[in-house]
């Protein structure tokens, strides 16, 4: 019985490692392609797996692309945290984070994932789960930043981060839909109320 359980744990561990490798490889490809089309064969080749392993672990290519796009965004968001430490004041932080977020390499892939959640109702819960994770992590960051720097927000932190990310992601959706304009046409910094 113990040998069977140990074998199951080993198989599960390999399965988790394969799933992680597929996800990380796809996240890299999503960023490199700026949300462009990827084939299952290309994903499998990059991850060093067989194509059927992609669908086995994620159900479909579209589901994998949603997971990978948000993973890439979470990687980018981790790098954003340095801006809080470097900002001289709250106004500099608001301007800096607004400027950087609109140029994140993962944003086009996330816009595509959002569109997939609209066109494919079966993917909407996956999109929602990832957005909720992004909002929670961002809220924790805003709370830590405000507490550490002695800043305050003009509204509850959960509203602060949802407003900010909704505006940034909405802007990217518009850009991906072909609406003209530049990041200078959007005052993303004003969606944040962090102040001394």
Please, which pLDDT band fits residue 177 given cuts at 50, 70 and 90?
Answer: confident
Q: Total structural domains in the chain?
A: 1
Q: Would you say residue 65 lies in a domain?
A: yes
Q: Supply the range of the domain harboring residue 147.
A: 2-191
Mean pLDDT of 157-182: 91
Query: What is the pLDDT confidence band of residue 4, given thresholds at 50, 70 and 90?
Result: low
- Per-residue confidence (pLDDT) for residue 10, from 0 to 100: 63
121, two tokens? 């109702």
pLDDT at 13 > cutoff 90: no
Q: What angle do CA 173, 179, 183 make, to 5 degrees?
A: 75
DSSP 37-67: ---HHHHHHHHTS-HHHHHHHHSSHHHHHHH
pTM of the entire predicted model: 0.87
Per the domain annotation, does 48 fall within a domain? yes
Max Cα–Cα distance, the chain, nearest Å: 65
Is 129 contained in some domain?
yes
- Is the pLDDT assigned to residue 52 strictly greater than 70? yes
Instruction: Answer whether residue 196 is part of any domain.
Output: no
Q: What is the CATH number of the domain that holds 119?
A: 1.10.357.10
Q: What is the mean pLDDT of residues 149-159?
A: 96
CA 25 and chain centroid, separation: 15
Exposure string (b/e) for 66-94, b if CB count within 10 Å is 16 or more? bbbbbbbbbbbbeeeeebbeebeebeebb
**pLDDT confidence bin for 165, thresholds 50/70/90:** very high
pLDDT surpassing 70 at residue 2: no
Q: What average pLDDT is seen over the chain? A: 90
Ranges 45-59, 144-158, 178-192: which has the least confidence: 178-192
pLDDT band at 3 (very low <50, low <70, confident <90, very high): low
pLDDT of residue 23: 96
Helix (H, G, I), strand (E, B) or coil at 152: strand
């Amino acid at each position: 019985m113990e040998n069977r359980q140990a074998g199951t744990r080993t198989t599960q561990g390999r399965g988790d490692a394969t799933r992680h490798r597929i996800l990380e490889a796809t996240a890299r490809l999503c960023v490199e392609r700026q949300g462009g089309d990827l084939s299952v064969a290309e994903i499998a080749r990059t991850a060093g797996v067989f194509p059927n392993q992609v669908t086995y672990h994620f159900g479909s290519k579209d589901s994998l692309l949603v997971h990978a796009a948000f993973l890439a965004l979470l990687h980018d968001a981790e790098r954003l945290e340095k801006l809080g430490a470097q900002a001289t004041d709250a106004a500099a932080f608001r301007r800096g984070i607004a400027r950087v977020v609109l140029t994140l390499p993962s944003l086009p892939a996330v816009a595509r994932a959002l569109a997939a959640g609209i066109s494919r109702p079966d993917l909407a819960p996956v999109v929602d789960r990832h957005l909720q994770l992004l909002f929670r992590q961002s809220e924790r960051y805003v709370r830590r930043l405000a507490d550490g720097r002695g800043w305050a927000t003009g509204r509850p932190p959960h509203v602060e981060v949802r407003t900010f990310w909704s505006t940034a992601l909405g802007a990217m959706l518009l850009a991906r839909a072909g609406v003209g304009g530049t990041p200078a046409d959007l005052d993303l910094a004003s969606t944040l109320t962090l102040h001394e």
